[in-house]
Structure 1
Amino acid sequence: MMYKVLIVDDEPMIREGLRTIVDWESEGFEIIDTASNGKEGLEKFGQIAPDLTIVDIRMPGMTGLDLIERVRKENSTAHFLILSGYAEFDYAKRAIVSGVSGYLLKPVDEAELLDELRRVHELLQREKEARSARIEQEAALPKAQLVEELLFEDDPQDGEHREKLVNALGLSAPAYRIVLLDAHGGAETESRQHAVFRQRLKEAFEEKNGDILFSAGSHIGLLLVRQNHAECGDKLRNQLAEAAGGLEFHASCGPAVDHLLEISASFREAEHLLHARFFFENGSVIDPAAYQALFATENVDELTLESEDGPQLGDKLYYALDIRSRDAVEKVLTELEQEAVSRRMDEAAVRGEYSRTLSLAMGKLSSGSSSAAELAQNYHSLLLSDVNQAQSYGALKQQVHTRFGELIDRFGGANKDTVLKQMIDFIRRNYSENLKLELLAEMFGYNSGYLGKLFKNYTGEYFNAFVDKVRVEKAKELLAQGLKVHQVAARVGYSNADYFHSKFRKYVGTSPSAYRNEAHGEQQGGES
């Protein structure tokens, strides 16, 4: 076998002189090509993949060292001899540290060149023998190990090595596909269940179909060897479910490829799809079509996501729980689900969004000292545990719905009084919130205009006026305790102190400060 040589030098006489100074063939080398500058040398290196490149260290434009550094980014095993003059000797010695095999001083001496060629030839021979030994070992490896090395080898650019692995596998089929499985069971029995699962997979796929079972980190891998491309349907799902027994699992199916050298692409896609397993039910086989269907965004614009100045979902959930309305809770949870899908949240983001929303609602519900508040505190912990431990998004949603149903039942279910009585109670409890008729109408399932008329007929007050009066009555209590006007305004739900001042004067007939001074003075006089 002749080793290929590329000569890169900007001086024609050097290029031609090197061709004739020694008998290359007798030393086991063949000059395949030459290049007159670094850029051309880099291009020809990529085309012919020489075993040895002899390169001038100083050339206009791309220097020899530049060329070597560019090659080293993709090829860590290439061999180089550099040419340098005496003035560049120190520079050349530094280049050796960068991984070149040696250097030659100009003008090139025949004996020195022969010594370097023979040394490099010996290096190349040792590397060839090492590769042959490794390939012989690999040929005797189990097929699972060959697949794993083909997928996870350190140097995916080593085409010769990959071809040897493919040959060692000895497979011939028009299509290949990677399937990845994530299986999980009870903590005490999971190890045994996994062993049984792998054995059943081996029987169903390896022994019957000639597929290959392998390990992919914490996942189980299957290289499907098929005569057609239709392996991701119900048949595969049923085979996996039968092998799993009672063990829960998710699977992902990479695209079919025509050659074993391309299975890395199928593996990468299967790995990407399996990251979405949280959103699929137990026993699902996730393929690109299922993934796209889950995260379809055609209707995102139709989703009524919360605006910056509108109530947050946590607030709306609190309102729904406070009025003991199952329907209102269901509506808010549906909004939360739509938001998670429309924003293509990953598993961690979904858990975080649910935790934040539920904590906001349950925190407000737990803030009082009543038995209902104590009950809400207990359920707060249960809900967060459910969110963090759910094995799938479907299980998370179902458990949260169930918990809230239980909570409303323990609160006593929906209030048997009229909707209007519930509204009045709600306003008296939540006067400090940003209360709007439209929001309550949504919670109770009414048209806001119609509900406003009912409210006016029942109370004799328009909704906003009723809220203002409740707030002003509470403000009078706080002012009598000696709180400052701006503190009272904020506590009763007015972010603007001037607006509070005008409302207070309208309903009380005096300013908040005057009322405070008079009421606080009377209290102090009575205490003395």
Structure 2
Amino acid sequence: MLKLLIVEDEEIICETLARLTDWSSLGIELIGTCQDGVDAYHMILDECPDIVMTDINMPGISGLELIERIQRTALDTRFLILSGYAEFDYAKRAMKSGVKHYLLKPCDEEQLRSALQEMVSECLQLKQEKNLSPVTIQDAQIQHVMLQNLIREGIRLPNVTTKLFETNAPYLELYEQPFQYCAIYYLEKNFINSAMEQLRRYWTNTSQNICFHAIYTVNVLLLIFPDYTRDYSSLDDFLSTLHFPDQKVSIVYERKTFPNLEKLLLMLLPKLKRYDTFYFVEEDHLIPNSNYDLIFSDVSLITQKLLQEHSPGDDRSIIEIEEELHNILLSVGDKDFLIQLASQLLISLSIETVSGDIKTISQTLSRLHNEDNLTNICNITMNEIYQITDTSSNGKYSPFIQKIINYVDDHISEENMTLKGISENILYMNASYVSRIFVKEVGQTFSSYVTEHRIEKAKEILSGTSVEQIQNVATLVGCGNNPYYFSKIFKKVTGMTPTIYARRFGTSPHN
């Protein structure tokens, strides 16, 4: 579901808009309403809505300034302007900045739905196009690694519980993004590469840049990918007519839509448990996954011991436990199974210590696939484990939350800093998950935390001996060339304007 925020300073109009239509029928979730431009700005930074419906004239900062400020960030938020006739010139200014959608007040449900349907299509198209960017391609590789590990864990559990999904939520969109599931039955193993090649060619020819996951069981090829469009009729036609001259039986095809990845996996994992071996399809080769329950059980137990300073009934040091683990890895004579074990170990340890360094883990696993010497694979794996266990944190915050706090301290003058940007480009984590954990551990939203730190920095500057203009102070603390916005949030936090604060505690700035 796409997320929508309504920004309107008149309470009655705001409530009317919120109740005007059935949002879910448009594939939209209404995440909230705001009656103030400053509050809306902070909520956009925290919630990252796909669509914002905003008025022009509002207290705090105007709808135009709200749009311009958000457009300077890395967010992909689209805006729908609501305006009276007298404000049309303002609307034209916003449209020159790239805003395509504009409605005159009052608007009816039909006008609103028509505009939003067009915006939904634009948002879905944008999500699909972003799959080609280098950052998104790298993120897709991490998603592959994390999903494969989750599936491996899931098939070994007697019962799949919410904990399995919770531990993987930082790196996978498990709950918010709809997913498609395609099953191609009676596909013989020797035709898999040809089928995958045809599928990639089809998606390239139809300009559908889809990052998909492929799994092969006995004569069944499964495709899993995010749902970014409303029409899959062309794909259905292509896959249902897929055939090979030497194939003994005809292909049978089906497709299902799931509201999110968690629901899809709850259906899929029991099916995969029926097989002793299944395969992840990667480029032109198959990665086997087998159920060696006893070894996996031993490795899982050792992993838990590594995560605990004092394991009940086990007085051995971490070094001794790591040595036992190393010996188990050295005893494995099959490369594919050894890499499977290494993947489980590295990802489980990284998640449980919340190290946030999944990018490095993904790169290490790619390196292991290219290594043929089993001893080298063991040594590379153990070296990575030493790094994780040595750097695990027992501080006030989870390591990845501490990374965010450090980033804010180091980049307080960065006007367009967002939690989404930090999550995706620095932590390589799911922004929604990071936002929830940030609030849980820090006790406030990211935008509130940043605002407080901007004000503390401003107070420090205003209390100094040098004379600073309000505009310069605003720039130094990341409020940009906007002394009015800076003054408003400064007064909201301190109870006084920057000028009064400077006169009372330091050198008065010139306005």
**Do the two structures share a fold, i.e. TM-score over 0.5?**
no
Larger Rg: 1 or 2? 1
Larger fraction in helix: 1
TM-score norm. by structure 1 comes to 0.31
* Bigger relative contact order (CA 8 A; separation at least 6): 2
